[in-house]
């Protein structure tokens, strides 16, 4: 009799069959795919032996055979001839509206303002950033399948730590469109730490400084025996090597005597100049010292422009950008409640960290040498590949546990437009947190739930994520219902919210898939505002809470008077009415929480005797017709 085999949880059903899984670094300027082969993570090359794929797609007019496109190096080579149809830096548009994208007018192609997400006008028609990213991801998928001569089971895809729900969901949508099963989204700095932690056996507290082509992340991690715990994260998803290119270009044009010309330059001239500025930046990063000059002649509509600069001038032109990265580093250290002297090592990730000006600034800040022994372009993809291999069950003996965090707090709107935070920022994910709420009015049979994201105390100052309703609550007195609201954040950082009335089991839930389009500046501003307006927020919250308590007291008193007002004589009734009128006036006119609280307490004290009379009546009714012996 044949025995049926049962596989271990998480392992391949066939112990001799390895699942083909990869890690993908979907970058702003270039992308990579990596896999664990023969026990070692390595980036997979194309037919020409190149592991990097430029994140560039050129769309051509449709032909009889359907839409035509060029991807990667082929598209990059055509950029100067056709900049209007060659899409670069599309990652900056993921999950964004046109108004949210910094310096959108400096892009060589046309960005259209469309509901939900900005789109790009091309010769092949309108393309969303999801469409463009899907073309890049599909190319990497084909590369992996050609390498292994097998179908791809799944992928771990990296995203900036500061990507919000909309940007993460857009990334998953692009992967689905490319036919890739997303096993998990992980933060880019965390992927880099995995590569360093496993390859170098590192333990302790590490900072991961990740400056890519279009995004900057800083993460503080604790590494202990294969456990990667992210204790704080920060950064700016609108800051990267592209911004250094533009800052250098602005400086070079000012030195050439044409500081304003770029504003009216053609897309072709703008693309030519940006490519030249990037090449010059890379040249300056490779020269032996800070004072060696680099010269370049660029052909434009103005005629030939002669540029010259050295590394000191590059550092000065980009000083403000480097300062922004260090400000985010200080903020992350404060969130982690650490001093920079407690950091054991600093991992440098992203091609832009090759700039000596950036490396020197970070080394000076931390006062120690930097970890740069892994290729900064490849380290994120390598870490993602290690994580994918673990999730696929290909390495059952591995001891890797990944504990990531969310960048912004999540909560619910409560009465008065206040935010009740359920999940604080920097909470380790995956996570599930719950809190009990109740009804505000007698007989309330439904509850409107408004999910928000941010660090401020008032809903108006936070970002709305989703709304849904819980219906079917049995009518009961205000405050009697017990409604448990649970926030569930999965390993990808995506949110689900459910509400359940504990008595009846009535339940409603929603998977938060927000309309795309949270500004990166808004993310940074949310955190900045939470500190600069902390005192004002506390006062505003106290005032709103005082007014809500006053309204609740007035409703309860009015309800009691309606039910049992006959227990009072005229003088007692007038005294309570006067207290209520006084409280209504204070609520309407005062902006001081203490005044409203005092008036609320006055009404509570003025109704104490009435409350005692009501209690006596209730007891009398309950005992009416019953024998003492029965009690």
> DSSP character for 371?
B
| Structure-token match 């009697």, residue found | 480
Residue 140 has which token pair? 């990497």
Q: How open is the CA angle 604-606-609, to the nearest 5 degrees?
A: 100
Burial pattern 153-189, b for ≥16 Cβ within 10 A else e, equals bbbbbbbbbbbbbbbbbbbbbbbebbebebbbbbbbb
Q: What six digits make up the tokens of 179? A: 């036919």
Nearest residue to 178 via CA among 22, 64, 62, 45:
22
Beginning with the edge strand found earlier in the chain, give each strand of the sheet holding 125-127 in spatial order: 110-112, 119-122, 125-127
Whether residue 255 contacts residue 448, with contact meaning beta carbons closer than 8 Å, is answered with: no
Query: Closest by alpha carbon to 380, among 57, 30, 130?
Result: 30
Q: Give the end-to-end CA distance of the chain in Å, rounded to a whole number.
A: 70
CB atoms within 10 A of CB 460: 11
Q: Tell me, what DSSP letter sits at residue 458? A: B
Q: Which residues pair with 295 in a beta bridge?
A: 308
CB atoms near residue 476 (< 10 Å): 15
Annotated catalytic residue: which of 210, 229, 242, 520? 210
Q: Which of 25, 165, 455, 529 is catalytic?
A: 25
Using CA atoms, how far apart are residues 583 and 606, in angstroms rounded to an integer?
12
Q: Which residue has tokens 């950029």? A: 79
Q: Which residues pair with 207 in a beta bridge?
A: 220, 346
What is the SS3 assignment for 282-323? HHHHHCCCCCCCEEEEEEECCEEEEEEECHHHHHHHCHHHHH
Residues recorded for the chain: 631
Q: Specify whether 91 is catalytic.
A: yes
Q: From the candidates 135, 164, 173, 188, which is the catalytic residue?
A: 188
Catalytic residue among 46, 82, 91, 165: 91
- d(CA 459, CA 469) in angstroms, rounded, equals 18
- Long-range pairs, 358-363, Cβ under 8 A, ≥24: 358/211, 358/322, 358/325, 361/322, 361/325, 361/326, 362/209, 362/325, 362/326, 362/329
Separation CA 624–CA 622 (nearest Å): 6
188 an active-site residue?
yes
Q: Which of 546, 539, 534, 618 is nearest to 588 (CA)?
A: 546
Q: How far apart are CA 203 and CA 596, in angstroms?
A: 54
Q: Which of 366, 340, 544, 582 is nearest to 459 (CA)?
A: 544
Unique residue bearing structure tokens 């970058």? 27
With CA atoms as reference, report the closest residue to 439 among 486, 471, 468, 477.
477
By three-state DSSP, how is residue 219 classified?
Answer: strand
The backbone torsions φ and ψ at residue 365, rounded to the nearest 5 degrees and listed phi first, read -65, -50
Judged by phi (left if over 0) then psi (alpha if -120 to 50, else beta), residue 573 lies in alpha
Residues taking part in catalysis: 25, 91, 188, 210
């Amino acid at each position: 009799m044949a025995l049926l085999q049962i596989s271990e949880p998480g392992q391949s059903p066939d112990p001799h069959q390895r699942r083909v899984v990869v890690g993908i670094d979907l970058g702003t300027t270039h992308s990579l795919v990596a896999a664990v082969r023969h026990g070692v993570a390595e980036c997979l090359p194309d037919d020409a032996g190149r592991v990097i794929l430029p994140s560039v797609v050129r769309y051509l007019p449709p032909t009889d055979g359907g839409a035509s496109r060029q991807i990667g190096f082929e598209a990059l080579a055509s950029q100067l001839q056709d900049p209007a149809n060659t899409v670069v830096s599309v990652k900056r548009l993921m999950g964004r509206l046109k108004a949210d994208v910094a310096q959108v007018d400096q892009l060589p192609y046309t960005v259209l303002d469309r509901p939900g997400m900005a789109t790009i006008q091309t010769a092949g028609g309108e393309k969303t950033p999801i469409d463009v990213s899907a073309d890049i991801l599909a190319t990497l998928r084909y590369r992996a399948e050609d390498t292994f001569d097998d179908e791809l089971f799944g992928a771990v895809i990296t995203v900036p730590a500061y990507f919000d729900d909309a940007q993460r969901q857009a990334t998953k949508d692009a992967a689905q469109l490319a036919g890739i099963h997303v096993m998990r989204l992980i933060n880019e700095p965390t992927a880099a730490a995995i590569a360093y932690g496993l390859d170098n056996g590192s333990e302790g507290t590490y900072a991961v400084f990740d400056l890519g082509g279009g995004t900057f992340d800083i993460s503080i991690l604790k590494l202990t025996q294969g456990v990667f715990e992210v204790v704080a994260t920060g950064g700016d998803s609108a800051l990267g090597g592209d911004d250094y290119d533009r800052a250098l270009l602005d400086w070079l044009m000012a030195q050439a005597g044409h500081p304003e010309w770029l504003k009216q330059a053609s897309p072709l001239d703008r693309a030519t100049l940006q490519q030249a500025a990037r090449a010059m930046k890379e040249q300056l990063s490779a020269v032996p010292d800070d004072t060696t000059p680099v010269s370049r002649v660029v052909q434009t509509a103005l005629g030939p422009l002669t540029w010259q600069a050295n590394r000191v001038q590059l550092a000065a032109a980009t000083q403000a950008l480097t300062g922004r990265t260090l400000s985010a580093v200080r903020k992350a250290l404060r969130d982690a409640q650490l001093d920079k002297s407690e950091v054991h090592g600093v991992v440098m990730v992203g091609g832009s960290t090759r700039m000596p000006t950036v490396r020197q600034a970070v080394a000076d800040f931390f006062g120690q040498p930097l970890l740069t022994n892994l290729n900064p372009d490849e380290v994120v993809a390598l870490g993602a590949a290690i994580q994918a291999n673990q999730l696929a069950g290909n390495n059952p003996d591995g001891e890797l546990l990944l504990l990531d965090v969310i960048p912004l707090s999540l909560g619910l709107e409560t009465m008065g437009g206040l935010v009740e935070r359920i999940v604080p920022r920097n909470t380790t994910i995956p996570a599930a947190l719950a809190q009990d709420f109740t009804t505000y009015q007698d007989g309330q049979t439904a509850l409107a739930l408004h999910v928000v994201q941010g660090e401020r105390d008032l809903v108006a100052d936070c970002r709305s994520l989703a709304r849904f309703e819980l219906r079917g609550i049995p009518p009961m007195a205000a405050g009697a219902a017990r409604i448990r609201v649970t926030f569930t954040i999965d390993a990808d950082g995506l949110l689900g919210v459910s509400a359940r009335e504990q008595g009846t089991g009535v339940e409603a839930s929603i998977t938060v898939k927000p309309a795309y389009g949270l500004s990166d500046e808004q993310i940074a501003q949310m955190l900045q505002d939470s500190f600069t307006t902390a005192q004002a927020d506390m006062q505003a919250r106290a005032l709103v809470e005082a007014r809500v308590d006053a309204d609740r007291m007035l409703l309860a008193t009015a309800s009691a008077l309606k039910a049992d007002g006959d227990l009072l004589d005229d003088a007692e009734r007038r005294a309570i009415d006067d207290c209520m009128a006084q409280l209504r006036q204070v609520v309407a006119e005062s902006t001081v929480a203490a005044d409203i609280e005092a008036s609320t307490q006055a009404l509570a004290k003025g109704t104490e005797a009435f409350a005692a009379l009501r209690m006596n009546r209730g007891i009398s009714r309950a005992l009416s017709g019953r024998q003492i012996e029965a009690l």
